Structure 1
Amino acid sequence: MSETLPIHVNRDGLHHIDVAQSFEADDSFTIALKNHGAPIHAHLHLDDNLSEVASLSATNHYVKADDTRHVTVTVRDAPASGKLKIVTGYGAETAYVDVEIHERDEQKDSIPVDESLSKPQRTRSPEPKPSSSALMKNLPLVLLGLFALVLAFGAGLVVDGGVALFGALVVLVGLGVAAYFLLQ
């Protein structure tokens, strides 16, 4: 069944309404107010039978020129039937649509499940560990880091300062972090 009820206004003249005689749904649906001319106000109304099982998000709608306005009709219960009233031009034109709301077909909405879904699926193989080629590719960086470490410790011994030794520790921690990310 259709999920959208198209309503054309201003197609054959000012305030003119063009809509199907009947509409069927089995759940909430959308009304598409398509304006083919000048800006217009449209009023939508569900009769008493339909308003017991369905509701409109709003009743009065302004539709800009050559634009489409979508209005949701929320269905709470089924089955039901009744009329949707469409009014334009503050009563200048009126049209009615016979609306049938059917019981929802659970078979149509169901998804068939077979026995294979109950069996465990194969897991993906884990990603390979980094090889020694990754270390060889980054060997110049490793050697440069070791040289910086030796240089920092040497400066700490020559200067005999705690600040230089702290700098050496910072370089050592930086090397450890860099090695971790290189081998990931």
Structure 2
Amino acid sequence: MSVTEVTVHVNREAANTLAPAATALETSESFTLLLDGHETPAHVHCRLEGDLGRIASLDGSNYYIEPGTVTPVPIAVDTGGIDRPVDGHLEVVTGYGSESVSIDVTVLPGPPNVDVDESLAKPARSEPDPTTLERGLDRVPGAIGFEPATLGVLALGVVAIGIAALTTATIGGPVATAGMAIVLVGTVVALFLLVR
């Protein structure tokens, strides 16, 4: 956020003199009046005039300015309730009212407020939502007690045993029967190792 400032030189040329660095300020946020002390100390009074006093406020109104010092005067501005520019004046007075300067201030409406709820703090999903088939497959292991890898080996084992059974029935003979037995034992051993 940028800091908006306006400077008024106090007693730069002679006692009880004020010299603003700018005579107008346009802002949409709070700003700071810098009272820059020069030759002699001074008492300075600050006030907000016009509609500016409706949306802005000063921490204090009276300041003692030492020579060679800069005294910041924060001016809080609330743009939340405005929808068009608000004009007013920042008046700086010294010498018990004998010297004063007025700085024209225009406050512009700020950016619109954005409501932020708790869902913004949650990280966005980096993966797409699972499909119906994936959700169904995720539920199956919990229902029957096996992991997906175990179910995959079981499914391949059933397919291998089915192919071995068809081969044995078609070809026949002791070699085909031995091949079927090897496939059956291999499937059982693989399942045993995964379940264990």
- Specify every segment of 5 or more residues in structure 2 that has no aligned partner in the other structure, as ranges: 113-122, 127-196
Counterparts of 1:2 and 1:97, CA distance in 2: 18
Code of the residue aligned with 1:93 in structure 2: it is E
Q: Which residue of 2 aligns with 1:13?
A: 14
Counterparts of 1:6 and 1:72, CA distance in 2: 12
Per-residue CA deviation, residues 140-172 of structure 1 (Å, 9 max, x unaligned), is xxxxxxxxxxxxxxxxxxxxxxxxxxxxxxxxx
Q: Which residue of 1 aligns with 2:34?
A: 32
Q: Is the 8 A contact 1:2 1:25 kept in 2?
A: no
Q: Which residue of 2 aligns with 1:90?
A: 96
- Taking the TM superposition and a 5 Å limit, the aligned residue runs for 1:146-161 are none
Alpha-carbon distance, 1:52 to partner: 0.5
Q: Which residue of 2 aligns with 1:64?
A: 66
Counterparts of 2:48 and 2:86, CA distance in 1: 12
Q: Is the 8 A contact 1:9 1:17 kept in 2?
A: yes
Counterparts of 1:10 and 1:105, CA distance in 2: 39
Code of the residue aligned with 1:41 in structure 2: it is H
Counterparts of 1:37 and 1:66, CA distance in 2: 8
Q: Is the 8 A contact 1:26 1:101 kept in 2?
A: yes
Code of the residue aligned with 1:16 in structure 2: it is T
TM-score, normalised to structure 2's length?
Answer: 0.52
- Distance change (3 Å), C-alpha of 1:118 and 1:76: same
Q: Is the 8 A contact 2:26 2:106 kept in 1?
A: yes
Q: Which residue of 2 aligns with 1:80?
A: 86
Counterparts of 2:19 and 2:3, CA distance in 1: 17
Counterparts of 1:98 and 1:80, CA distance in 2: 11
Give the 4+ runs in structure 1 shifted more than 3 A.
117-120
Per-residue CA deviation, residues 43-83 of structure 1 (Å, 9 max, x unaligned), is 11101311101011111111112111111111123431111
Cα RMSD of the aligned pairs, angstroms, is: 2.1
- Specify every segment of 5 or more residues in structure 1 that has no aligned partner in the other structure, as ranges: 107-116, 121-184
**Worse overlay, 85-94 or 75-84:** 75-84
State the structure with more CA Rg: 2
TM-score, normalised to structure 1's length?
Answer: 0.55
Q: Is the 8 A contact 1:41 1:60 kept in 2?
A: yes
